[in-house]
Structure 1
Amino acid sequence: MQVQNPTHISKTVVWLMAVISGLVVANNYYNQPLLGLIAKDFDISETAAGKISVLTQLGYAFGLLLIVPLGDKFFRKKLILTDLLLVFGALLWMTFATDVWMLYAASLLIGITSVIPQLFVPIAAELSSEEQKSGNIGLVVSGLLLGILLSRFVGGIVGELWGWRTMYGIAAGLMLVVWLFVYKMLPVLQPNFKGTYIELMRSVAYLAKTQPVLQLASFRGAMAFGSMCALFTTLVFHMERPPFEVGASVVGSFGLAGAVGALAAAKVGKLENKISLNRIILYALLILIGSWGFTYFAGNTYWGLIVGVILIDLGVQSSHIMNQTNYFLLKTTAVNRLNTVYMVSYFIGGSLGTWLASVAWQYAQWEGVCTVGVVMGLLALTAHILFSKKVISN
């Protein structure tokens, strides 16, 4: 039976992809407010527990590299349904892990398999008109971002009330519900690449080497996301100590503050009619760098951390949406491969930020973490100022 690609996408399906994106990507971030509980349960150091976040983000980068390009080669609906079953299995393994190596392995697999949102974003871009493109991308990305932020809140509450294992058990159950919705509602899209897997991966490398717009967007995204991960990975350790001395539920509630910034970021696409894309990114990166002023100078107060979290999420997510809008304007059908290059870079940056922040925390505590965040933000800003006017979408 021949399958014809739909020529447009309904708002209902866009909303469905936004909600599912949030639920799936949340699997990568439940661990952040739970690291303290996991460290106590397995009697390991904070640094050892922090490796769970590093491995999850590295796993996500591997999944983006190895799985997302397949969206151009295979039917995306079938690929997503298969991947959801793998996510379910990884979450169950995490739930019943009895040794530290199991935690690490399951975290890596959760990251590898929780890449479905990055199959949704190209669908939204591919089936949207030029006028709707940034808005629909923004909606799906907003669902993803809210999933990242609210997962910390939900994870902290559930972990403190019923234990960290319960959170992963609930997440596994949610993946079965998501599977049913994808099966019933997601449209079937024809593949647009007929070569071998090796040829597919070579084309990913070719895009990475030959597209300056994609290269710049990838570097900006990596540094900005690394800056944000530096904050959220170590926030739980910072707040377990004086003057706060609070648990996972309070730390997780900062995800609600971040949600304010993410919701605001979802509207940045509407500014393109008045402000150029490059200028929006410039302002977003300045907001990101400025957020660290609050987390450093007022980092021992609740209001300082709340303002810092709101601003860092606003800056990172605004630049993220504009980065994706920028490279999806390139005249090519290789939408999943473009997204692969960007998102692999994005999460390598996140892993780098997480690792550097863990090391900085070990040697210089909160001051070291803030230094990591500011430096990564400045690197993104410097690259944008130097190169944004030299590259254009064509």
Structure 2
Amino acid sequence: MTRPLPRGGTLLLALIAGTAIANNYALQPALTAVAADLDVPLSVIGLVPTAALAGSMTGFALLLPLTDHLAPHRLVAAQLTALAAGLALAATAHGPLPLLAAYLLIGAAASVAAQAGNIAGRHAPPGRRGTGVATVAAGMSAGILLSRLVGGALTDAFGWRRMLLVFAGLVLLGALAAAVLLPRQRPPERRGYGATLAALPPLLRDRPGLRGAVITGGLWYFAFNIVWVTLALALAQPPYALEPTAIGLYSLAGLLGFAALPFTGRLADRYAPRTVITGSLLTAAAGAVLLATGLRTPAVTALGLALLDAGCFAAQAANQSRIIALDPARSGSLSSVYLVLYFTTGALGTSVSAPLLDAFGWPGTALTALAALLLAALLTRVLAPGETAHRTAG
């Protein structure tokens, strides 16, 4: 029997997830200053976000399955300590190669954010799994939304090196809290870590529910990335020709997605996940319809982005709750397969965004995203026909 989290444990995991994932993005506003400080081309320092993403993918593949083997207090504290070490290495880097190596470590260790969501779902009280996963997802969303703002402000105040050290200090506080407050119960997984990794690929073949989650999740993340990448490109070109700061203000539309997540969690506990996911995707599709009308009216664009973000964020929280419910004892392995393929599909969306915009313009790009969202909604109904609400925590 899995013991529930202590009082405030889910909130702690949400704070840990937000603080950890923020480190993948906090340096981005300071990349020009970093390039000048290290006296290297900006194109080289521009590889930092790529290194963080590569590290995150590695963490999802190799570290997320550890949630099936190690007690939460030990696993989370150790990974946060590694994250703080990576930040310290980045803060003391005197060349691009050490900085990029540090960001590979930072990205891998920041995958503790996904572990936090998995732990929250596994240790949730009966009938509260969706709420737990959504609460941690809200923390992650807040970390992503606020990371660039906080990172830029701290860089202006103290410089980019001290900014990283401030984040390292926050991460160490999280490690201490995790070591003291998170459950000390070790999961019942009896196979070795190597055997767990070897068993990851067959999961996709043997678990129809996981296949369905991967296909539908990949489709909406593909659509999400297409919209956000091409939005920046479209707004920077005539007839809009907006400055980067003005373009960045559109990211505030994501606050609606953040605000919707706690409500999504309650819905996921009450109704079948496919029902919540379908409704969320139709909300995102309504946003895509508004975006397809063009970008000449900022209020309409902002509303379209808000609905898109709210729908995709809500669908992702419900989908992860659904994956954990497939087999709570192996939820780390199941989530590992899901997230690796989810982000791979998102990267595909990013790579085709500019060619889509060139070929079909903004309306055609938005309609492509709409088609992917509607297909995801349809497949959600087809691939999970008998799904019911999750009333237990496993």
- Please classify the TM superposition score into its range, dividing by the shorter chain length: 0.7 to 0.9
Q: CA deviation at 1:356?
A: 2.9
Partner of 2:174: 178
CA contact (8 A) 1:208 1:341 kept: yes
Distance 1:273 1:134, change over 3 A: closer
Partner of 1:229: 225
Residues 267-311 of structure 1: per-residue CA shift (max 9 Å, x gap): 123335775432221121222233233444343543244223311
Distance 1:98 1:234, change over 3 A: farther
Q: Distance in 1 between matches of 2:352 and 2:15?
A: 31
Distance 1:265 1:82, change over 3 A: closer
Q: CA deviation at 1:166?
A: 5.8
Partner of 1:246: 243
Question: Secondary structure of the residue that 2:329 maps to in structure 1?
Answer: coil
Partner of 1:76: 72
Q: Does 1:16 align with 2:12?
A: yes
Distance 1:94 1:31, change over 3 A: same
Q: Distance in 1 between matches of 2:79 and 2:354?
A: 31
Q: Distance in 2 between matches of 1:52 and 1:352?
A: 19
Distance 1:229 1:37, change over 3 A: farther
Q: Distance in 2 between matches of 1:381 and 1:235?
A: 23
Between stretches 48-57 and 129-138, larger displacement belongs to: 48-57
Between stretches 93-102 and 379-388, larger displacement belongs to: 93-102
Question: Secondary structure of the residue that 1:189 maps to in structure 2?
Answer: coil
Q: Distance in 2 between matches of 1:375 and 1:37?
A: 41
Select 1:137's aligned residue among 130, 133, 145.
133
Identity %: 26
Distance 1:150 1:253, change over 3 A: farther
Between stretches 283-292 and 100-109, larger displacement belongs to: 100-109
- The number of residues matched between the two structures is 387
- Aligned alpha-carbon RMSD (Å): 3.6
CA contact (8 A) 1:156 1:251 kept: no
Select 2:256's aligned residue among 243, 248, 260.
260
Question: Secondary structure of the residue that 2:295 maps to in structure 1?
Answer: coil
Q: Distance in 1 between matches of 2:341 and 2:335?
A: 10
Per the normalisation by structure 1, the TM-score is: 0.82
Select 1:85's aligned residue among 81, 88, 97.
81
Per the normalisation by structure 2, the TM-score is: 0.82
Q: How does 1:176-215 map to 2 (within 5 A)?
A: 176-215=172-211
Listed as ranges, the gaps of 5+ residues in structure 2 are none
CA contact (8 A) 1:6 1:187 kept: no
Listed as ranges, the gaps of 5+ residues in structure 1 are none
Q: CA deviation at 1:326?
A: 1.7
Residues 196-251 of structure 1: per-residue CA shift (max 9 Å, x gap): 22211123333222111111112222232233234445655555556353345x55
